[in-house]
Structure 1
Amino acid sequence: MTDGPWQDAALVAIDLEGSGAQDGEREAILEAAAVPLRGGVVQAAEGYCSVVNPGRRIPRRPWISPGLTDDVLAAAPPLSTVERELAARLDGRILVGHNVAVDWRLLRRRCPNLRPAGLIDTFRLARRLGKGTAGSSLGALLTHHNLAEQVNMLAPGGQPHRALWDAVGAGLLLTALAQQAGGPTPISLGQLRHLAGLPLDPASPARPAGEQTELFG
C-alpha cells in the first residue's frame, strides 16, 4: 500500500548499539530495541529492548554506548535469543531509524534471516525537509522539535546513545517530520518513502507483499 496515509503502515522504530565498524567482520550487536508505531503514535509500552551477549570481551572505546560494560553484556542473552524476539517484531514491517542504513547493515549481517518490508530514514527525511539546520544528529533534532523530554518520559531510565532511547526518539521524530511534510493533509506512505525511503538491498529494492510498483522513487 502506497496511497494510504503513512500512519496506516506497519512501522517499527529500531536502534542498535554495536561494537563499531572498526571491528570489521567481528562487529557485534551489543543492544537492540524495537518500538512499534500505531496510527503514527509511538507505542513505547509495547517496545522491546535487550542487551546482547557478544560472546567475547569488548574493548572500551569512546563510541561504545554508556553502560554496555563487559559485566553487563556477559549477563545478557545471546544474539540467537534476541534475534527470535526481533523477528517477531520486525518481519513484514517497515523499519524506522535515524541513519537507519547503519543499523540495517549490522542487523542484516548478524541476523540474515530477518525479513522487514522496507526502511525509512529520519535523518534523510529531516534533510529533505530542510530541518537539519540546527544539527542533524538525533539528539539535536529532538531538541529542535522539543521532543527530548517526551523521549525521557516514554523511555524512563534511558539515555541518548542507548537503543531504547534512540528508537523512541526516532519514532517521535518521524511523526513530527511527517506532520510537517503533510500539513493538514497526511502524506501517503508512498510520499514518505519518496522522501525518506531506502532500499533493503541497493541492487533489489524491497516490496511488500502484493505490491507491484517500486517502493522508492
Structure 2
Amino acid sequence: MDLDPWEDASLIAVDLEGSGAQDGEHEAILEIALVPLVHGHPSPADSYHTLINPGRPLPRRPWTSPGLTNEALKDAPPLEQIEPELTTRLADSTIVGHNVTVDWRLLRRRCPNVQPAALLDTLRLARICLPDGQRKGLQPLLEHYGLVQRVDELASDSQPHRALWDAFGAALLLFELIHSAPESLPLRTLYRSAVIPIEEDLTAQSGPEQLPLL
C-alpha cells in the first residue's frame, strides 16, 4: 500500500505524565515530551522534553511515574513558561500517542492555546492490526515488535512510564503497526480507525466521514 501520505504528514509523538486523575480539575502536568516524526521515523534532534513544576508539593502515590518527586520538580519551569513552546511546536500537527485521548484531555485543559490538527491513537491502530486482544499496552506492544532496545537507545536518560521514553515508543510503534498491517487493510481504513478529529467528542468513536486524510 502507498505509505507516502502518512510519512509526509506533520506528526509529533507526545506523552505527558500528570499528578493523577484523582486531582480532578486540579490535575497538573509534571512532564511532557514531543518527538517529531520525519518520513515516518522519530527525530531525536528535533525532540523536546521538560519536567514541569506544578507549583505545589504533591503527595507520593503508587501510580506516580518513577522519578517525578517534589525534589526533582522543584527547579523545573512552570507550565505557563513552556506553554508558548508547546503551542508553536504542536500547531497544525497531528499528535501521535498511545491511548492519546487521555493525554490530550489534560493537555487541552491546561494549555488551551495548543491547537493541533488531529490525534492519532496507536492503541486504536493496534486493535485493528492485532485483533487477538493481546499486547495492547505500550510496553508489551514494543516488546512484541522487538523495539524496546531501540527505545532505550533513543531515550537513554528515561525509562518506561516516563514521558520521553513513552513518546519515542509511540513514534516507533506507529511505523511498525502501519508496516505490519495486513495487506487487506488499506491505509484509509487504518486512518479511519486511529485518527481522531480535535472537534470530536472524545467519548465517542470516530466516524469515517469525520476523518481528515493526512
TM score, norm. by length of structure 1: 0.87
Query: Which aligned runs of 4 or more in structure 1 are off by greater than 6 angstroms?
Result: none
Q: Which residue of 2 aligns with 1:17?
A: 17
2:190 equivalent to 1:215: no
Secondary structure at the counterpart of residue 16 of structure 2: strand
Q: Distance in 2 between matches of 1:140 and 1:110?
A: 30
Residue 88 of structure 1, CA deviation: 1.9
Q: Which residue of 2 aligns with 1:198?
A: 196
Kept in 2, the 8 Å contact 1:134–1:144? The answer is no
Kept in 1, the 8 Å contact 2:197–2:210? The answer is no
Q: Which residue of 2 aligns with 1:28?
A: 28
Q: Which residue of 2 aligns with 1:69?
A: 69
Secondary structure at the counterpart of residue 5 of structure 1: helix
Stretches of structure 2 lacking an aligned partner (at least 5 in a row): 203-208
Q: Which residue of 2 aligns with 1:207?
A: none
Flag the 1:11–1:158 CA change in 2: closer, same or farther, 3 A.
same
Aligned-pair identity (%): 52
Q: Which residue of 1 aligns with 2:108?
A: 108
Kept in 1, the 8 Å contact 2:135–2:141? The answer is yes
Stretches of structure 1 lacking an aligned partner (at least 5 in a row): 205-212
Flag the 1:93–1:132 CA change in 2: closer, same or farther, 3 A.
farther
2:137 equivalent to 1:137: yes
Residue 51 of structure 1, CA deviation: 0.4
Count of matched residue pairs: 205
Q: Distance in 1 between matches of 2:80 and 2:93?
A: 20
The one-letter amino acid of 1:181's match is A
The one-letter amino acid of 1:215's match is L
Kept in 2, the 8 Å contact 1:53–1:73? The answer is yes
Secondary structure at the counterpart of residue 114 of structure 2: coil
Flag the 1:78–1:140 CA change in 2: closer, same or farther, 3 A.
same
Give the RMSD, CA atoms, in angstroms: 2.3
Structure scoring higher RCO (CA < 8 A, sep ≥ 6) equals 1
Residue 202 of structure 1, CA deviation: 2.3
Residue 132 of structure 1, CA deviation: 6.2
Flag the 1:132–1:22 CA change in 2: closer, same or farther, 3 A.
farther
TM score, norm. by length of structure 2: 0.89
